[in-house]
Amino acid sequence: MVRVPLTPEERQRGERFGALLRQARGERSMVEVAAAAGVSAETLRKIETGRAPTPAFFTVAALAAALGLSLDELAVACADASGRDGSEFRRAG
């Protein structure tokens, strides 16, 4: 087993993540936001619909910047939205 498939929880987390991005996009079109972030509209669509549940960090960073979102708040919002134990996101100190 060299690369475990994404767990259902990770898929669900991706769906929540996409929902947050879509909510933050509001009335703006996909092409508008995608162009502002420097990614293709299809990529944004896949992330928003949860078909790309674990997008690249800098892709998310560019989208968050285009949408005016905080990466930290985005991360905790995905983990906090459901009944997760949150252990993977607890601070080190």
Partner DNA sequence: AACTATACCGGTATTAGTATCACGGTCATG
Partner DNA sequence: CATGACCGTGATACTAATACCGGTATAGTT
Site for a copy of itself, rule CB under 8 A: 10, 13, 36-38, 54-62, 65-68, 70-72, 74-75, 78, 88-93
Shortest reach from residue 76's CB to DNA, in Å: 18
Q: Does residue 3 bind DNA (CB under 7 A)?
A: yes
Candidate segments 44-52, 67-75, 80-88, binder of DNA by CB under 7 A: 44-52
CA dist 25 and 32 (Å) reads 10
Q: Which entry of a copy of itself, DNA, none binds 68, CB below 5 to 8 A by partner kind?
A: a copy of itself
Residue 50, amino acid: G
Q: Which entry of a copy of itself, DNA, none binds 41, CB below 5 to 8 A by partner kind?
A: DNA
| Other beta carbons less than 10 A from residue 78's beta carbon | 20
CA dist 63 and 61 (Å) reads 5
**Cβ burial, residue 43 (10 Å; 0-12/13-18/19+):** middle
Residue 82, amino acid: S
Which residues lie near DNA (CB under 7 A)?
A: 1-6, 14, 29-32, 39-43, 45-49, 51-56, 59
